[in-house]
Structure 1
Amino acid sequence: MATVYKEFIVEASAAQVWDALRDFDAVHTRLAPGFLTACTIDEEGARILTFANGLVARELLVGIDEAHRRLAYTVTGGQARHHHATAQVFEEGEGRSRFVWITDVLPDAMAAYIGPMMEQGGAVMKAALEGRPAPAAA
């Protein structure tokens, strides 16, 4: 199984970042606007995401851990046999936080596709959380 890590510092409090991250159904407006263009909720409570590159993914919430500011989700369907991800927010001093996003995926070759998407998504999230315009897509 391949694991992809994405970690970045956000110039916003952990409470502010967590508030946006935990809003599972508003990821396209609060966390990754522009990188994600739409989010709808299906009858089972999964979010159906449309990415700016045209990819559509179905993500099912596994859990929200308020005490540890950690959210876990899995992608169902698609090309990966297994896709599980977590995102967690840590205090990093006053008015700063550390965002840690980890994805486990099978087959291993999927990491070559997911890694660059997480890199781009992370840059968009950092900008959105800091109240800045998103960087131009590469």
Structure 2
Amino acid sequence: MATIYKEFIVEADAARVWDALRDFNAVHVRLAPGFLTGCTIDAEGARVLTFANGLVAREVPVGIDDTHRRLGYTVAGGKASHHHASAQVFTEGPGRSRFVWITDVLPDAMAAYVEPMMVQGAAAMKAALEGRTA
């Protein structure tokens, strides 16, 4: 299984970053605008995301842990036989936080496709969380 790990510093309070991350249904507005162009919620509570490159993915929430500021989700359908991700926010000092995003994917070859998207997504998230545009 390939594991893709992205970590970045956000010049924003961890509570504010967590509030945006945990808002599962507004990810396209609050967390990664521009990278994501749409989000609808299906009858089972999964979010169906449209990415700027035209990709559509269905993400099912696995858990939202307010105590540890951690969110987990899995991608259902698509080309990967397994795709699970989590994101977690840590306090890094006053007005500063650390965002850790980890994705496990099978087959391993899917990492070559997922990793560049995570780079773009991380840049969009950092910009949005800091009140800038990517």
Query: So what's the TM-score if we normalise by structure 1?
Result: 0.97
Query: Is 2:74 the counterpart of 1:74?
Result: yes
**1:87 aligned partner, one-letter code:** A
Match of 2:125 in 1: 125
Tell me the equivalent position of 1:57: 57
Aligned partner of 1:43 in structure 2 is: 43
One-letter amino acid of the counterpart of residue 73, structure 2: Y
- Alignment partner, residue 4 of structure 1: 4
Aligned to 1:101: 101
Matched residue SS, 2:95? coil
User: Which amino acid letter does the alignment assign opposite residue 29 of structure 2?
Assistant: T
Structure 1: state its 5+ residue gaps: none
Name the count of aligned residue pairs.
134
Identity %: 81
TM-score (normalizing by structure 2): 1.00
Kindly state the Cα deviation for residue 133 of structure 1 after the two structures are TM-superposed: 1.2
The 1-side partners of 2:82 and 2:51 are apart by 20
Q: Aligned Cα RMSD in Å? A: 0.3
Whole-angstrom distance in 1 between the partners of 2:37 and 2:89: 24
Give, in whole Å, the separation in 2 of the partners of 1:50 and 1:35. 9
The residue type paired with residue 36 of structure 1 is L
